[in-house]
Amino acid sequence: MKIYTPLKALLSIGMIVGLSFSANAHRAWIVPSTTNLSGDAPWVTFDAAVSNSLFVPEHVPLRMKGLMVQDPTGKLIEAVNAHTGKYRSTFDLNLVTEGTYKIGYASGGLRASWKDKEGKRKRWPARGKEANAADFATEVPKSADSLKVSDSYRRLETFVTSGEPTDKVFEPTNSGLELIPVTHPNDLFVGEAAKFKFLFHGEPAAGVKLAIVKGDTRYRNDQNQIDVVTDAKGYVSITWPEAGMYLLEAEYEDDKAKAPATMRTGSYGATFAVLPL
C-alpha cells in the first residue's frame, strides 16, 4: 500500500477502521488539547483513538505507527512523549515554528474483498498489512465469488496554529481525498459559514458526502448530524450551530479506476474546534 506526499513519506493507517456515518459506528479521531496558541514555542497534547462516543476513548487506540506531523514549512517533524494505552494514544508537540501544523495519517492503494468456497469473507491486504501491487495477481483469485477490487484512500487529520495561521500544509498531495480550506480550519466561529474544497487525486471532487457531528455524543440522545454534499466544483459550505469540537467525515466514490480496480474510493476525517463569537 503506497501513498505519495510531497515529502515522499510512506505512511500506513491499516489499523484505522473505515469511516462510517452510522451513529453506532466506531469513529477514528485525533483531538488536540487546544488548536490556537500564542507565546514562545508553546506545547500541545493530543489524544488519538477509535470510539463509539465522540472524543471519549473507550474502544481502541490509534497506533503511533504512520503518524505524520508537518510543521508550517511543510517539513516532517517528530511527535514526542508518545504513549499508547488500552484505549488511546497520546503525544505532544512543541510548536517551535509559528504558523499552522498538520497532524494525521494517510494511506492508499488497491484493496480487494471476496468470498471463499466456504462463503467466508476474505480481504486483501489483511488488516494491518501493507499491499504490494506486485502480489495482487497471486494473492487475489480472479474468479472469486463476490470479488470487489477498489483503489481506496484514507486520510485522518487535525490542525493546530501557533500565532498567525498559515497555508503551506494545505498544499495538495494529489493523492486520495483531500480538504483544501478556503476558510482556515483554525479560524472557525459559531454562526459563521466555513467554506472548504475537496479534491480527489488533485481534481475537484463533486458529490462528496459529508457528515459533521459535535463531540460529547454520550451526553445527548440525538447525534444532531449535519449532512452536506460538495457541489460540481468540489466546494461545500458549513455553518456551525454551536461552539465545541467537531468531527467531519467525508466519503467519495467513482468508476474511473484503472484495472484491476473497478472503482475509486476516498474517505477523509478531521477534527475542528469551533469558537464562540
Average pLDDT for 190-216 = 97
Cell 474517505 -> residue = 267
φ/ψ of 7, rounded to 5, equals -100, 5
Least confident of 68-72, 124-128, 227-231: 124-128
Say how far apart CA 247 and CA 217 lie, in whole Å.
11
Give tens-digit pLDDT for 18-29. Answer: 444 555 578 999
For residues 106-110, average pLDDT: 91
Residue 53 pLDDT: 93
Question: What is the reported pLDDT for 24?
Answer: 53
Q: How far apart are CA 244 and CA 210, in angstroms?
A: 18
Cβ proximity of 271 and 250 under 8 Å: no
- Split at pLDDT 50, 70, 90, the class of 129 is confident
pLDDT at 132: 78
- pLDDT value, residue 57: 96
Average of per-residue pLDDT values in the chain: 90
Q: Residue 173 contacts by C-beta under 8 Å, 6 or more apart in sequence? A: 3, 4, 5, 6, 106
Q: Is the pLDDT of residue 256 over 60?
A: yes
The structure's pTM equals 0.88
Of 24, 29, 25, 35, which is closest to residue 13 (Cα–Cα)?
29
Backbone angles phi, psi at 218, to 5 degrees: -70, -15
Exposed e or buried b per residue across 209-219, where buried means at least 16 C-beta atoms within 10 angstroms of its C-beta: ebbbbbbebee
Pick among 2.60.40.10, 2.30.110.10, 3.60.20.10, 3.40.50.2300: CATH of 27-108+151-275: 2.60.40.10
- C-alpha Rg value of the chain to the nearest Å: 19
